[in-house]
Structure 1
């Protein structure tokens, strides 16, 4: 089964996303911050990491850079943004190695498409 690490502090949107991921056949593990996420990636090697811009632990591009330097397996990262960030932030996260960026709200079909773009067979 494909494992997804979901990093988000906000309970309600996190639960909704967890349900969508489960419906696509992904096993989901949760952390609330990027520090825990890096440790989780080193211990468990998830297939994909989805991280909310609201997650504690620093700027999106810094998280991707840190994950690329330290995490075992180097899973693709999809960033979730609820508010429209500036285009520079989008570009920086992609340049640091994020697979994609996804704006909330989104539906199951768009999530499925973005996961496939990131190389996840769902």
Structure 2
């Protein structure tokens, strides 16, 4: 079973995303900030990561940059799920290694279509 790591400082968003990805057949793990996510990835690299941008401790962009430098860190498909909708932010995320970008609020159809676009489902 493929694993998806949901990284968001909002417990509500994590729970909503968990339900979506579990309904798609993924095992789901959660992290409340980029540092927790990086610690998780160093132990168990997931196949997919849903990533928020604005979080305490380590934000999503810093996490993504650090992840891509880790051994095996180029493997996970990373989908940013954020309220950051400025084109410069989207470009910055894609240049840092994000595979896709989704605006909040999102739903199951949006996540499923993005996962399909990047070959996860």
Whether TM exceeds 0.5 here: the answer is yes
Q: Secondary structure at the match of 1:119?
A: coil
The answer to whether the 8 A contact 2:49-2:78 is kept is: yes
- Structure 2: where are the runs of 5+ without partners? none
How far residue 64 of structure 1 moved from its aligned partner, in angstroms, is 1.6
**Hey, what's the Cα distance between the residues in 2 that align with 1:93 and 1:65?**
9
Residue 35 (structure 1) aligns with: 35
Aligned length: 120
> Is the 8 Å Cα contact of residues 38 and 71 (structure 1) preserved in structure 2?
no
State the 1:73 CA deviation. Answer: 4.5
TM-score of the aligned structures, taking structure 1 as reference length: 0.88
Q: State whether residues 34 and 62 of structure 2, in contact with CA within 8 Å, keep that contact through their aligned partners in structure 1.
A: no
Runs of 4+ in 1 over 2 A off after TM superposition: 54-63, 71-74
* Long gaps (5+) in structure 1: none
- Measured in 1, the distance between the counterparts of 2:33 and 2:10 equals 11
Query: What RMSD over aligned residues (CA atoms) do the two structures have, in Å?
Result: 1.6
CA distance in 2 between counterparts of 1:71 and 1:78 reads 19
CA distance in 2, matches of 1:73, 1:100: 16
Match of 1:104 in 2: 104
Summarize the Cα distance change of 1:102–1:71 in structure 2 as closer, same or farther, 3 Å threshold.
farther
Please tell me whether the aligned partners of residues 61 and 89 of structure 1 are also in contact (alpha carbons under 8 angstroms). Answer: no
TM-score for both structures, normalised by structure 2: 0.88
What's the CA shift string for 1:31-60, capped at 9, x where partnerless?
111111112112111001111123334444
